Structure 1
Amino acid sequence: MRKQDMTLDNAARRKQTAAREERMRTRPPKGPQLVGELADRTREPDSVRSDNIGFVLDILRQEGPISRIEISAALELSRSTVTEITAELLNDGLIQVHEDEEAADSATVRGRPRVRLSLNPRAAYAVGVRLGLSQITVSVTDFVCDVLHSSTLPFRSSRQAPEVVADVVEDAILRTVADCDLKLSDINAVCVGVPGMVDSKLGICHWSPAFSRIPVPFADLLSQRLNIPVVIETHTVPLATAERNFGSAQDQDTCVVITLGHGVGMGILINGEVYRGAHGFASEFSHTKIEEGGPLCECGQHGCLEAHIGFRAILQAAGEEVAGPVSEDPRSRERKVLELIERADAGNEHLRTVFAQVGTYLGRSLANLCGVIDPARIIFSGLNMRSSHYWLEPAKTALFANVRAPMQGRLEFVVNDRDDVFWSRGAAALVLHQLYRSPLLLRAKKSAAQ
């Protein structure tokens, strides 16, 4: 992973624009477009068959390499159905016969050796992006979601023109893809995690601290620049996906992922799937109200949870303990909060109380959430994990004091310090999941390239 300056001067922008126009002119026609949920737009004519193909690809992602008999047993599909589907997927180059020591040993057993199958890592490539307020992280993954290369690029996206943000994200993607020795035409889809309220189906960001104006059709802005399908999601959705696929939610189907930092993010996993709600706004935990007429939040309303426990609120509660002025630069706030944590660790009781109060507010809010969703596990992540030894126990105390007795003692708590590559890998996993369920997209791209 590398870091580099993302400042684009006028000459660089002209070069970028010329390269973009050349891509648009020379790119062969594409198949079905990625707009929001891939599976909603690009299903097989036979939806049951399409679902079964997706199930086979997904079980190969999770458990592969495995045999057809094992696939049949795991999915409760007939052996003939699995044989037909896998033959088609092998012909399309989406899966491969897996050759390893175990497969070789099977040849010594009487009867026909058991063939084991796995996803073909080179069948497709995805790009995941985490758009932060102080930096952008881009990860390129193969078809099994192994990260080929990542880049973390300093950039203050706070209150920027959407077109400027799209230009910088475009440049970051181009550089990272090139570092993998791939061409942009090799990439099947891009997913960007954006802080704020996002309608992933329409590709519109309705509110975000990253943009100077709203609403923003950011998926279209970026897709027009790259000429590649682009999906945008609320930034905690990729994190929840990452936790489910290769993190702390692999063994639990119903979990809540909470992030603490500049704001309060949430990703919801119900029955193993990310829950977005009817309009994509189900993760707006940060702006649930905990005090009538309370402090002003950055969203423009009063009394939000973020206005009580986000970085701005912590700095205000610390008062004179904050050394020097605090600018609106997100990096400045992050540095100031880290300084407060260090002083609390050095014995400052007032600051310890400030961080403990974060836990109390958080626990009360989580009690309301748990009464509705009943998660098995709450997973914490984000920039404020450094102070978890001050707020976690108060959060548990406040939560259990406000839930019914049968729920007490059953909840599990996990604190993770995930880096941005983990988040961006989750973004790539989101579009890969949609590709597993919509192999028409992969076939169309393959046909267009031939």
Structure 2
Amino acid sequence: MASGIRHDDLRRNNRLLVLSSVRKVGQVSRTQIANATGFSASTVSAISAGLITEGALREIEAEEPAAILKRGRPQVGLALDPRAGTVVVATLTLNHLSAALLDYAGTTIADRAKRLDTLRISAAALEDEVSGIVAELVEHAAQKAAGPVLRVVLAVQGITDRAGREMVWTPITPWTGLGFADLIERRTGVPTGVENDCSMIATALMSANTARRQRDFAVVLLSHGIGMGIVLDGRIFSGTHSSGAEFGHLMLHPGGALCRCGKYGCVEAYAGSYAIARAAAGNGEKVQPLSNISTADMTKLVNAARNGSPLEQKAFDKAGEAIGLGLGSLFALVDPLPVTFVGANTQAFDLMKPGLRRGLQATAGGARAGNIAFALEPDEMPLIRQGSALRALQHLDEEIFSPGIALAG
């Protein structure tokens, strides 16, 4: 027996479709919303009127240049009302902490950044730094009357739990099981989610909605460490217990090169910045990895390889081979996916590509990849912030404004 659709659920879904249509475009006419959603003009008018009254949407008057949405007579458009609320997005990576305050339309109001010695800082100090930078921006929003902070998203380099409450494990600090969501909520009173950084990169790229990234693709972070985000059937993949795709710690060679995770033979132990620098220096695979390699140091290695230095050339080739073997193993489980490589070490992609292709062809999954194309995005940090902002703002759309929850004050 088919179950009926509750009126409240239908209303909520319809309102969310309208909000999503506006968020996707930024400024849009009611006619364009009707065409995108399949709703009648009267339905769009009724839903948008309610959302305007509640403060989620605003009308763009015809005399505003941004309101000229189509040829001919300009229409009155709709846009997200930036005053509806704000969100804070924060990012914790190796030796770096940053955060930003954004309004409901996604415009940055304020941001903060600082360097931390994440490998040596105490757990208590790290928790205080992360919660403190968020609290500072929550206070800033109150002082500037920017609108209530309704959601915090913290993106971390490492494994998060499926519920989005903890940083379960990370290579950037020895501390595990850090409950950042509870900590931030206690300090600020704002609902918080903790997300994997590569999943946030994938979220940002998914929003671009290019032909290659509509439904299924993978993101590989090439940096000090190696990370991955996967989108399958238009959704970010996560595990049953955690954030899922720890590609950098996929085992290639048991007993092989020492990884910073403490294990031997991981993809990252050959392809991370520290692994490339270790090999380029002629050090053995079991030598303890350096804690950090700057982008400038990596650029020197890239230039040396391009100038014919054999150690550097071999190091980048080995890194590419490790990535290819890892992707080939993935493609044995999941059909070959378009791959976007992200991060500072994409500057060396031409040096890695021959080894990558060779590694792919050495695996059954990779052999099925054919002539799969690769895309490059050199800077991961704006993508992490963009993905985190999208996740936070979508939470407001789905959990606050589409159900029509009244906000205090």
- Once the 2 structures are TM-superposed, how far is the Cα of residue 391 of structure 1 from its aligned partner? 0.6
- Once the 2 structures are TM-superposed, how far is the Cα of residue 235 of structure 1 from its aligned partner? 1.4
Contact 1:140 1:428 in 2 (8 A): no
User: Which segments of 5 or more consecutive residues in structure 2 lack a partner in the other structure?
Assistant: 1-5
- Once the 2 structures are TM-superposed, how far is the Cα of residue 335 of structure 1 from its aligned partner? 5.6
Worse-matched range after superposition: 360-369 or 420-429: 420-429
- Once the 2 structures are TM-superposed, how far is the Cα of residue 93 of structure 1 from its aligned partner? 0.8
Partner letter of residue 369 of structure 1? L
Q: Give me the identity figure in percent.
A: 26
C-alpha distance in structure 2 between counterparts of 1:299 and 1:387, whole Å: 24
Worse-matched range after superposition: 245-254 or 134-143: 245-254
Q: State yes or no: 1:408 paired with 2:340.
A: no
Distance 1:196 1:327, change over 3 A: closer
- Once the 2 structures are TM-superposed, how far is the Cα of residue 256 of structure 1 from its aligned partner? 0.7
- Once the 2 structures are TM-superposed, how far is the Cα of residue 172 of structure 1 from its aligned partner? 2.8
Distance 1:326 1:289, change over 3 A: closer
C-alpha distance in structure 1 between counterparts of 2:25 and 2:404, whole Å: 24
Q: For each residue in 1:194-228, what CA deviation from the matched residue of structure 2 results, as whole angstroms up to 9, or x when unmatched?
A: 11110141502221123433222121122222221
Partner letter of residue 418 of structure 1? D
Q: Which residue does the alignment assign to 1:157?
A: 118
- Once the 2 structures are TM-superposed, how far is the Cα of residue 50 of structure 1 from its aligned partner? 2.3
C-alpha distance in structure 1 between counterparts of 2:178 and 2:321, whole Å: 35
Q: Which residue does the alignment assign to 1:137?
A: 98
Query: After superposition, where does 1:10-409 map in structure 2 within 5 Å?
Result: 46-99=8-61, 100-101=64-65, 114-175=75-136, 182=144, 186-246=148-208, 252-320=214-282, 328-330=290-292, 332=293, 336-374=297-335, 376-400=337-361, 402=363, 403=365, 407-409=369-371
Q: Which residue does the alignment assign to 1:447?
A: 407
Root-mean-square deviation (CA), in Å?
3.3
Contact 1:137 1:420 in 2 (8 A): no
TM-score after normalising by structure 2: 0.85
- Once the 2 structures are TM-superposed, how far is the Cα of residue 380 of structure 1 from its aligned partner? 0.6
User: Which segments of 5 or more consecutive residues in structure 1 lack a partner in the other structure?
Assistant: 1-43
What is the DSSP-based 3-state SS (H/G/I as helix, E as strand, rest coil) of the residue aligned with 2:375? strand
TM-score after normalising by structure 1: 0.78
C-alpha distance in structure 1 between counterparts of 2:125 and 2:281, whole Å: 35
C-alpha distance in structure 2 between counterparts of 1:155 and 1:183, whole Å: 30
Contact 2:360 2:366 in 1 (8 A): no
Partner letter of residue 112 of structure 2? S
Distance 1:405 1:280, change over 3 A: same
Distance 1:214 1:64, change over 3 A: closer
Contact 1:158 1:210 in 2 (8 A): yes
Tell me which of 375, 379, 392 is aligned to 1:431.
392
C-alpha distance in structure 2 between counterparts of 1:250 and 1:138, whole Å: 30
Contact 1:200 1:232 in 2 (8 A): no
Partner letter of residue 83 of structure 1? S
Distance 1:184 1:286, change over 3 A: farther
What is the DSSP-based 3-state SS (H/G/I as helix, E as strand, rest coil) of the residue aligned with 1:302? coil
Partner letter of residue 281 of structure 2? G
Partner letter of residue 50 of structure 2? E
Worse-matched range after superposition: 126-135 or 150-159: 150-159
C-alpha distance in structure 1 between counterparts of 2:322 and 2:380, whole Å: 25
Distance 1:103 1:310, change over 3 A: closer
Q: How many residues align?
A: 398
Q: Which residue does the alignment assign to 1:5?
A: none
Contact 2:67 2:77 in 1 (8 A): yes
Worse-matched range after superposition: 206-215 or 313-322: 313-322
- Once the 2 structures are TM-superposed, how far is the Cα of residue 389 of structure 1 from its aligned partner? 2.2
What is the DSSP-based 3-state SS (H/G/I as helix, E as strand, rest coil) of the residue aligned with 2:47? helix
Contact 2:279 2:311 in 1 (8 A): no
